[in-house]
Chain A
Amino acid sequence: MSEPTEDQPHGVFLGSLLRRGRDGFTGTLRADGAVSGTVTLAEGRVIAASTAVAPGPESLLLRSGRLAEADWTAAYTDAAPEGRLAEELLKRGLLGEVSLQVLTLKALTDAVFAMAICGVQTCVATPPSPDELPPLLPAAPGLTTRALADETTRRLASASRWAAKGLTVDTYLFRTTDSPAPATINGRRTPRDLAFLWGQGLYATLYTLADLLASTHITTSDSPRLTPPPTPIPLTPETLPQRQKGTSPVNTFLPFRPPS
């Protein structure tokens, strides 16, 4: 596969990643641009990556319902402070070895794709520090930077085809009339938001959405749907709304919700 060049939006990032891989770097590569994120390397292999644009292992496990919140919390409390969460999840039988391997590789590959697609302007490498918290669930032994860069380039090519049809990471998605698409596609969420909500990777989410878009079950827009407040409060132009004692009908309109 061709070498990424710096005139491409993702070139700085993937180029920097490949260089650290060749150097056998151990430490953290911090990427900044439209979004921020980190890539953790051990002896030149990528063992973890994290960004706000792609769900991490915790979100993938909990939001998808593969793991119950109580089980996760118990394992986390017992093992995360000593950095042995992966062993604890295996010990408790919450995940198998293969599942854990797939999960960690999926999360790091997706995070690197997400950073690359959003555009990285600067990359700063820092060696490991004893004060730094290690990744919660590192992949062992991780991926070579070459394999990761090749996979990311392949995904970026797919994403570029979807972008030509209007589907990008930050477009808002609307269901068409009588669409069988999930109701969570409601005009207020982007593919990134849906990835977190559904507990699946950003790339997998874009893939699903591309199919729905191709079959005209959804449409895209640059702006979200705005929902007007259900009970608008009249405003006076000069002052902020003021509460008048004894005049609020709030309890009539909005009774307390019973605990579920």
Chain B
Amino acid sequence: MNKEEVLAELTALRKEVPGIAEAATASIDGMLIAADTDEVRPEVLAALASAALGLGKSAAHEVGMGELREVITRCQSGHIVIYPVGRKALLVLLGDEGLDVGRLHVRSRPAVQRLADILGL
């Protein structure tokens, strides 16, 4: 696994989708792999994203709506978006309120796949 490659993916996604402010990748149990963050504590973000993703997966399973695609939390001044990366990692993105979520989903799929490849998942 090359941490620089992971960071390059996070930065590229940030530049590609207007509104993404911070990004991190973590293992599925919340251990930080790499972060392009500034104002948030990356280890804490990784741990909380892991918990939120787990909750989303459990809810998806319970209601029988198929595989979880992403978890989105919308707040007063922004969005928290969490994507599973393979079965063992996750990508968490923080965006402002202007984030184009539709565009993000389109752009993030290839990025998630590339992250999975880099992480060997």
Contact = CB atoms under 8 A, between A and B. Distances in A.
Interface of A: 35-36, 52-56, 58-59, 62-63, 69, 170, 186, 188-190, 192-193, 196-197, 223-227, 229-231, 233, 235, 237-238, 240-243, 250, 253-254
A97 B7 CA distance: 49
B45 to A, nearest CB: 10
A254 B43 contact: yes
Nearest to B32: A233
Given A53-B18, A229-B32, A254 B41 contact: yes
Nearest to B25: A240
A229 B27 contact: no
15 contacts: A35-B100, A52-B18, A52-B99, A188-B38, A192-B18, A193-B96, A224-B14, A225-B38, A226-B11, A227-B35, A227-B37, A227-B38, A235-B3, A241-B31, A250-B47
B38 A242 contact: no
Contacts of B88: 240
B95 to A, nearest CB: 9
Nearest to A69: B76
Name A's interface SS: loop
A52 B38 contact: no
A247 to B, nearest CB: 11
Q: Which 5 A-B pairs give the minimum distances between C-beta atoms?
A: A52-B100, A241-B31, A240-B27, A196-B96, A229-B42
Contacts of B105: none
Given A53-B18, A188-B38, A250 B43 contact: yes
A187 to B, nearest CB: 9
Contacts of B27: 240-243
B97 A59 contact: yes
B100 A36 contact: yes
Contacts of A233: 31-32, 43
A62 B14 contact: no
Contact of B36 (A52, A226, A235, A250): A226
Given A36-B100, A52-B103, A188 B32 contact: no
B21 interface: yes
A250 B44 CA distance: 9
A189 B99 CA distance: 14
B49 interface: no
Given A224-B14, A227-B38, A188 B21 contact: yes
B1 interface: yes
Contacts of A62: 76-77
A240 B119 contact: yes
A59 B76 CA distance: 10
B19 interface: yes
A240 B89 contact: yes
Given A52-B99, A59-B97, A223-B11, 18 more contacts: A52-B103, A56-B98, A189-B21, A190-B18, A192-B19, A192-B98, A196-B19, A224-B36, A227-B38, A229-B35, A229-B42, A231-B43, A235-B33, A240-B27, A240-B89, A240-B119, A241-B33, A250-B47
